[in-house]
Structure 1
Amino acid sequence: MFEKLMHWMQANNVLPRISDTERQALEAGDVWIDGEFFSGHPDFKRMLDARYGRLSAEEQAFMDGPVNELLSRADCNEIALSRRVPDDILDFMAEQGFFGLIIPKAYGGKGFSTLARSAVMAKVTPHSAILSTYVVIPNTLGAAELLVEYGTDDQKEHYLPRLARGDYLPCFGLTEPTAGSDAASITADAEAFRDDNGDVSLRLNFAKRYITLGPVANLISLACRLRDPDNLLGKGEAPGITVVLIHAGTPGLKQGDRHEPIGEAFPNGPLIGENVVVNADNILGGRDQAGGGWRMLMESLAGGRMVSLPASAIGGMRTIAAATGAYSMVRQQFGLAIGRMEGVATPIGRLNALAYMTEGTRVLGCSAVDDGINPPVVSGVLKAYTTELARQCATDAMDVFSGAGVMQGPKNIIGRGYCSAPVAITVEGANIMTRTLMVFGQGAIRCHPHALEVVRAVENDDSAAFSKGMRGWIGHFVANMGRTLGHGLTRGLFVRVPDVDKHTRRYYKKLGWAASRFALFTDLALFFVGGKLKMRGNLTGRYADALAWMLMGFSTLKRFEAEGRQAEDRVLVDYALRLSLAKVQDAFEGIYENFEGPLGKLLRWVALPLLRVNRLARLPDDRMAVACAAVSQRMDAQSERLNADIFMPENTDSGVGRLFEAFHRVSEAAPLVDRIKAAQKDGRLPAGDPDSLTDAARKAGVLNADEANQVAAARQSRMAAIDVDVFSESEFFDRAVQATRDDRRHAA
């Protein structure tokens, strides 16, 4: 029976077909907690046992010392205007080891953990996206990462110490006009030939674009498609995708031209090669790695998706949340801090909850990588969803800052980040592609308990393996059908939950309930959509949404447990889980509405109304949003803990420093201002801004001289913090002219 079923599935393309490159991608990396959700029966005890890492003493000292000093030295406004990082800043970074965070100590690097590298990037990026590229690329997408893993002994000895010192500044040449998210379609060509000395060399021709640090790098890791017509390397006539190291100045290589990225114009540009010749020993990993580049690409891209891009996005969200809460208490309208208005408090509450949730996801994901786990599906989720949330958070912050976020200049602390938000959306695979193709497209096969086994059996025409796999799959399907029905009727009452905070137990039960439905509908998608899944991007995107929000919801719960069940954080957990479960509910409704065929009609007309009645959750209510907003609207032990490792400059002349100085002064003076307000109510003081009545309050005996001075100082600081930049006509146009002159001078 199973043999006939296998032949029918082969003939009717029931299951998704897997190309050679897709197979390598599926076989690369690991299944992690994502597999628990695909199982339909998540083991929360085992999931909570996953390590939630912390920085070592050495790593924390680096964060508190060199990182803070770097950001204090680097004038983010001047860097943005000049579009370059000053040489003295780059020298400082080299001296302090910023270029070698990923490189082992044996080769002169820092040998930091993934979590520490992520933390550094999260702290640097909100200060300056241009500066951040000099940290991100050398420590995730440069040559060092691949050399550590694949380099020959000679390559490691030569390159790694020089990369750690900053003698080599790397870039990674992958994207082409016709190869973006589909890295397998690169056309950069390398042909092996025997040179005049009788050795094997490579002749390369390529046209790359969007290469970060491309204009300034002196060591390029170039992804190309290697041909070897005479089989000189012993890998056949077409070894395939290969990574080759090319030095700046190699004849035929053209670099230095620039693209102009939106927002902050970080170094980015094309790399052109015409008959560039290098020795075959320049293959990264040596000649034995000819054709081994696809796995390198998958691992390198997964590193960017798990580490650098989520770190940058989440660091931005945390900084935005802290700054927006502070600004909402410093800025006043109608005699009231705008943060006290519900309409303003609501987006601030959302910012705080999302910052809490995504920081938990970042730490948990990086901890897995440090434990030797490389989960490509989870890294895709982190990249796509944290960068999208960061864009939404930037919009919320702009709504609160309003004019202070619009008017550019040194005092504007969020404008450049808002403008730069689309950049992270597009790199390392555009979010549209990651969401609609990668997350569920890989996850449905890779993370499913039985699907990959069955697909392999069908492709290999192995009836014994197919029979074994299908028996397991049928049992899995029937079990999840029963679990989904049971959990739906009891609203997850019988989901097993380990010893957790009693306040959060209900969220584990709902996640378990959601997981059973997710697993059941994954099977339905594989059975009824099958080989057409790649074409049903809207449907697979909704599956990706459900998985992503379950993962982020669980990460929130893991953080809460790992940090000691801080009672004051429960409001953030409540908001994050309500939001996560409501998003999962929306995803399921979309799946029910858009499933095709007879099953789709049944889901739309019968199951969907029941799904909407028996909801997983509703969106957080207004009271919860206002309570969440208060977290960043006060200065106390909780806000200090949650804002740890966000850069808070001591220089009160900077925009961020000025804002938090005002926030501190206004917070301390608040009880005194309340006394002025009380005096206004009983008629002892006239109407007006309370903190503008210090002289009258002192004369009326409401405040003493010291208290009046404190309120006056707070007002002065507050007014300075809400001020925006003003330029004379000559200054306004000179800024643009000078920037143009600087660009032309350096181009020449």
Structure 2
Amino acid sequence: MSDLRKKWITGPLLKLIKKVLPPISETEREAMEAGEVWWDAELLSGKPRWEELLGMGPPKLSEEEQAFLEGPVEELCSMIDDWQIIFEDRDLPDELWEFLKKERFFGIIIPKEYGGLGFSPTAHAEIVTKISTRSTTVGVTVMVPNSLGPGELLMAHGTEEQKDYYLPRLADGRELPCFGLTSDEAGSDAASMTDHGIVCYGEYKGEKTLGMRVNWHKRYITLAPVATILGLAFKLYDPDHLLGDEEELGITVALVPTDTEGVTIGQRHLPAMQAFQNGPNWGKDVFIPMEWIIGGQENVGRGWHMLMSALAAGRGISLPSLSTGGAKMAARLTGAYARVREQFGIPIGKFEGVQRRLAEIAGIAYVLDSAHKTTTRALDEGLKPAVVSAIMKAHATFGLREAINDAMDIHAGKAIMDGPLNYLGNVYRAVPVAITVEGANILTRSLMIFGQGAIRCHPYLLDEMLAAEHEDTKEGVSQLDELLPKHAWFQIKTLARGFFHGWTVGIFASSPRGVGHAAKYYRQLNRYSAILTLATEISLMSLGGELKRKELISARLGDVLSQLYLLSCTLKRFKDDGSPKEDRPLLEFAMRAGLHKIEVSLLEVYQNFPRRFLGQVMHFLTMPWGHSVHTASDRQARACAELLMEPSETRDRLTRGVYLGNPGDGVDIVEQAFNKVCATQKARDKMKKGGIRQLNGDAIEKAREKGLISEEEAEKLHETSEAVHLAIQVDHFDHLSPCEDKAKHGE
């Protein structure tokens, strides 16, 4: 019976799979094999096991890590003058560079035995987040050596000799690293990299040595202008077969001192009005001995795998940390400004249009902080979730853009006039940088998240694809024959679950125990997990390799997976915080916004599906009633906005880690004005009851004379009035070149 099935059913199916599904290139295979699946696989199973996520508990810092945050990180932030760095010096001052080296900020992830701090991913993320609330330039300068770069690659793949020599020097700043991956014409397509090396003999330390003659041209390389050691990715060829029979050996990664003969460090790029060091570099016939390959000669051709493995973790920390810090800063300071800035005698935060924007900022900050914490918690456990890291990079930077745009709208002229008092402008200018680096978001969203996620997370598909590529057809048929019944049963369960939860709008979906008020949202996520799994099965089976070219379909399905992940993290964070009733407005707003995005994405998939009949079938099976979840109501938005405009534990919890400025700078001035306005609100209310709505010296004296307020209240209101006046000021300059002149902070 088995032989007949293989001959008449499995065999023909194997041929069909070979035709329908595209072959997996070597770079694609290595990208999919790098990292691990985690909660993303649960979400694409159709029935996520919540105990696995919720059982992890909240992230925690060790006493040493907390002390570093409260000590050196706080001191570093107090030393930063972002206006001076960006507009005057275009670089970090010498004392900052020396402080970063002395306190081992470049060795956050390097183990203690090599002289580094040996901190956890959570600590790494919290450090970068806090610094980024003070300066994106300094945040990037710290994050790059601790993210994708020589340090991480050496720890994972270096020889003992390489580790012993380089890691202590990287940890204490004797060596400053950069990593050269991006080529002029290849961009994010490493397979098209033109940088190349030829295996040959050359002279090294006065002796004939086996190595490589390498030529390259890299650009957009952060820290390149100041780097002493260059991590270099290039394609290696062996035309003379000095290493073996293969001629094309693949992408290889080596460490090259920047003072090596033939290496040229170019002049600086100036990325979007930021001042972090970034620039091009070239190599002309540079001889590199085999011992400079990270991991030695045995790692020839393994560079892409090494890079993807490092990226699977690092991409979940660096830019998500910067984005989370920016969103939390926007939430705290925009709420404060909306409280102290008045129009028509009332705070602008009381206008409904402004309230909606405030709620959007608060919701984004809550979701990003939740996902950031959950992702680094997984990294603490040693996981390297590649798809989750891609989700975090893309959607954290997307979220930052939305939050900063809303913050700019609310601040209006306060945010568009440059000067030391403007705390939003530099973050606003940094957003395009964050969105385009470490994998441009368009590519990540359109091809990577769902393209890799659907295959990596599927319980059988990758094995089926590998079976179809098996050179031994008989063995491939045997492998497929074992997989097909399991896959068929999976499809039956997926169809039943997606249909049932779609028609019953998730009412009967399960939820974990002990989640109380949030149970309805767990049920909705279970519902859409089942629907996404069903839509994935139909898309993969009907489109096959064509799905790779239908980037917008892939992007929308990836958006569903991304929102499921972000909202899962939000629910986990709410539970980890003890499910505080005061935080419910944040949860309600964030969950409704995310669920609505899921529905919009699914409906757009159905409407634009290349097989129109199947699109209609999926619509009928999974969303027959159309939209069932709407965005937050005006009442819910108002409650969310109010949380940003009143001192509370919820506000502090949401914005924890934001550096609140040095005395007299823009952040501190607004924060102090906010505190004074809130503290004197009762006296203001007395004035308003007496018909005096303005807050200025004359109005305060008039209220005092009429007996509406006491002498003590009048004195405090005068202080408040002065603080508000300072908070709404913008800088102005004597001449057109602010880089040459000191700013005047309003009069």
Residues 15 and 455, structure 1, Cα contact 8 Å, conserved in 2 = yes
Residues 344 and 400, structure 1, Cα contact 8 Å, conserved in 2 = yes
Q: 2:26 aligns with which of 6, 20, 37?
A: 20
Residue 143 (structure 1) aligns with: 150
Q: 1:371 aligns with which of 381, 394, 399?
A: 381
What's the TM-score once normalised by structure 2's chain length? Answer: 0.95
Q: 2:632 aligns with which of 610, 620, 626?
A: 620
Point out where structure 2 has 5 or more consecutive residues left out of the alignment: 1-7
SS in 2 for 1:384: helix
Evaluate the alpha carbon distance shift between residue 595 and residue 280 of structure 1 in structure 2; reply closer, same or farther with a 3 A threshold.
same
Residues 216 and 256, structure 1, Cα contact 8 Å, conserved in 2 = no
Equivalent residues in 2 for 1:250-329, closer than 5 Å: 250-329=260-339
Which is worse superposed, 69-78 or 466-475?
466-475
The answer on 1:663 being equivalent to 2:683 is no
Evaluate the alpha carbon distance shift between residue 319 and residue 693 of structure 1 in structure 2; reply closer, same or farther with a 3 A threshold.
same
Residue 423 (structure 1) aligns with: 433
Equivalent position amino acid for 1:631 in 2:
L
Residue 686 (structure 2) aligns with: 675
Evaluate the alpha carbon distance shift between residue 49 and residue 702 of structure 1 in structure 2; reply closer, same or farther with a 3 A threshold.
same
The answer on 1:227 being equivalent to 2:237 is yes
Residues 687 and 693, structure 2, Cα contact 8 Å, conserved in 1 = no
Q: Distance in 1 between matches of 2:693 and 2:503?
A: 59
Residues 358 and 406, structure 2, Cα contact 8 Å, conserved in 1 = yes
Q: Distance in 1 between matches of 2:17 and 2:567?
A: 38
Residue 254 (structure 2) aligns with: 244
The answer on 1:440 being equivalent to 2:413 is no
The answer on 1:352 being equivalent to 2:362 is yes
Equivalent position amino acid for 1:457 in 2:
A
Q: Distance in 2 between matches of 1:692 and 1:519?
A: 66
Equivalent residues in 2 for 1:51-70, closer than 5 Å: 51-70=57-76
Equivalent position amino acid for 1:711 in 2:
L
Residue 4 (structure 2) aligns with: none
How far is the alpha carbon of 1:600 from its aligned partner? 3.8
Residue 400 (structure 1) aligns with: 410
Residue 746 (structure 1) aligns with: none
Residue 733 (structure 1) aligns with: 737
SS in 1 for 2:392: helix
Residues 235 and 290, structure 1, Cα contact 8 Å, conserved in 2 = no
The answer on 1:125 being equivalent to 2:136 is no
What's the TM-score once normalised by structure 1's chain length? Answer: 0.94
SS in 2 for 1:198: strand
Equivalent position amino acid for 2:26 in 1:
D
The answer on 1:192 being equivalent to 2:204 is no
Q: Distance in 2 between matches of 1:598 and 1:5?
A: 27
How far is the alpha carbon of 1:237 from its aligned partner? 3.0
SS in 1 for 2:219: strand
The answer on 1:697 being equivalent to 2:710 is no
SS in 2 for 1:513: helix
Evaluate the alpha carbon distance shift between residue 164 and residue 687 of structure 1 in structure 2; reply closer, same or farther with a 3 A threshold.
closer
How far is the alpha carbon of 1:535 from its aligned partner? 0.6
How far is the alpha carbon of 1:642 from its aligned partner? 2.3
Equivalent residues in 2 for 1:211-222, closer than 5 Å: 211-222=221-232
Evaluate the alpha carbon distance shift between residue 560 and residue 724 of structure 1 in structure 2; reply closer, same or farther with a 3 A threshold.
same
Equivalent position amino acid for 1:634 in 2:
E
Equivalent position amino acid for 2:562 in 1:
A
The answer on 1:3 being equivalent to 2:10 is yes
Equivalent position amino acid for 1:72 in 2:
S
Residues 326 and 659, structure 1, Cα contact 8 Å, conserved in 2 = yes
The answer on 1:161 being equivalent to 2:192 is no
How far is the alpha carbon of 1:524 from its aligned partner? 0.6
How far is the alpha carbon of 1:235 from its aligned partner? 8.0
Q: Distance in 2 between matches of 1:645 and 1:675?
A: 36
SS in 1 for 2:208: coil
Residues 51 and 368, structure 1, Cα contact 8 Å, conserved in 2 = no
Evaluate the alpha carbon distance shift between residue 464 and residue 319 of structure 1 in structure 2; reply closer, same or farther with a 3 A threshold.
same
Q: 1:515 aligns with which of 487, 511, 529?
A: 529
What number of residue pairs does the alignment pair up? 728
How far is the alpha carbon of 1:233 from its aligned partner? 4.1
Equivalent position amino acid for 2:701 in 1:
D
The answer on 1:709 being equivalent to 2:684 is no
Q: Per-residue CA shift, 1:281-320, capped at 9, x if unaligned?
A: 1111111111111111112333332110111111110111
SS in 2 for 1:138: coil
Q: Distance in 1 between matches of 2:245 and 2:676?
A: 69
Equivalent position amino acid for 1:517 in 2:
I
Equivalent position amino acid for 2:638 in 1:
V
How far is the alpha carbon of 1:652 from its aligned partner? 2.6
How far is the alpha carbon of 1:356 from its aligned partner? 0.9
Equivalent position amino acid for 2:367 in 1:
M
Q: Per-residue CA shift, 1:318-356, capped at 9, x if unaligned?
A: 111111001100111100000111111111111111111
SS in 1 for 2:364: helix
Q: Per-residue CA shift, 1:39-96, capped at 9, x if unaligned?
A: 1111122222234312111111111111111011111110011210011111111111
Q: Per-residue CA shift, 1:636-675, capped at 9, x if unaligned?
A: 22222222211112x2311101110111111111111111
Residue 42 (structure 1) aligns with: 48
How far is the alpha carbon of 1:572 from its aligned partner? 0.7
Q: Distance in 2 between matches of 1:27 and 1:304?
A: 16
Residues 652 and 661, structure 1, Cα contact 8 Å, conserved in 2 = no
Equivalent position amino acid for 1:41 in 2:
K
How far is the alpha carbon of 1:598 from its aligned partner? 5.0
Residues 673 and 690, structure 1, Cα contact 8 Å, conserved in 2 = no
How far is the alpha carbon of 1:126 from its aligned partner? 2.9
SS in 2 for 1:258: coil
Q: 2:99 aligns with which of 85, 92, 101?
A: 92
Residues 608 and 615, structure 2, Cα contact 8 Å, conserved in 1 = no
Which is worse superposed, 703-712 or 296-305?
296-305
How far is the alpha carbon of 1:700 from its aligned partner? 1.6
Residue 558 (structure 1) aligns with: 572
Residues 525 and 564, structure 2, Cα contact 8 Å, conserved in 1 = yes
Residue 488 (structure 1) aligns with: 502
Q: Distance in 1 between matches of 2:388 and 2:653?
A: 27
Evaluate the alpha carbon distance shift between residue 533 and residue 692 of structure 1 in structure 2; reply closer, same or farther with a 3 A threshold.
farther
Q: Distance in 2 between matches of 1:734 and 1:148?
A: 45
How far is the alpha carbon of 1:263 from its aligned partner? 3.0
Q: Per-residue CA shift, 1:529-575, capped at 9, x if unaligned?
A: 10111110010000001000011111000001111111111111111
Q: Distance in 2 between matches of 1:24 and 1:602?
A: 36
Residue 3 (structure 2) aligns with: none
Equivalent position amino acid for 2:289 in 1:
N
Equivalent residues in 2 for 1:471-486, closer than 5 Å: 471-486=485-500
Residues 158 and 296, structure 2, Cα contact 8 Å, conserved in 1 = yes
Q: Distance in 2 between matches of 1:20 and 1:369?
A: 27
Q: Distance in 2 between matches of 1:666 and 1:566?
A: 26
SS in 2 for 1:735: coil
Q: Distance in 2 between matches of 1:83 and 1:302?
A: 32
Q: Distance in 2 between matches of 1:167 and 1:46?
A: 43
Equivalent position amino acid for 2:544 in 1:
G
Residues 83 and 130, structure 1, Cα contact 8 Å, conserved in 2 = no
Residues 109 and 146, structure 2, Cα contact 8 Å, conserved in 1 = yes
Equivalent position amino acid for 1:150 in 2:
H
Residues 503 and 623, structure 2, Cα contact 8 Å, conserved in 1 = no
Residue 743 (structure 1) aligns with: none
How far is the alpha carbon of 1:231 from its aligned partner? 3.8
Evaluate the alpha carbon distance shift between residue 212 and residue 700 of structure 1 in structure 2; reply closer, same or farther with a 3 A threshold.
same
Residues 45 and 497, structure 1, Cα contact 8 Å, conserved in 2 = no
Task: Report % sequence identity.
Answer: 38
SS in 2 for 1:195: strand
RMSD: 1.8
Evaluate the alpha carbon distance shift between residue 399 and residue 528 of structure 1 in structure 2; reply closer, same or farther with a 3 A threshold.
same
Evaluate the alpha carbon distance shift between residue 488 and residue 734 of structure 1 in structure 2; reply closer, same or farther with a 3 A threshold.
closer
Equivalent position amino acid for 1:512 in 2:
N
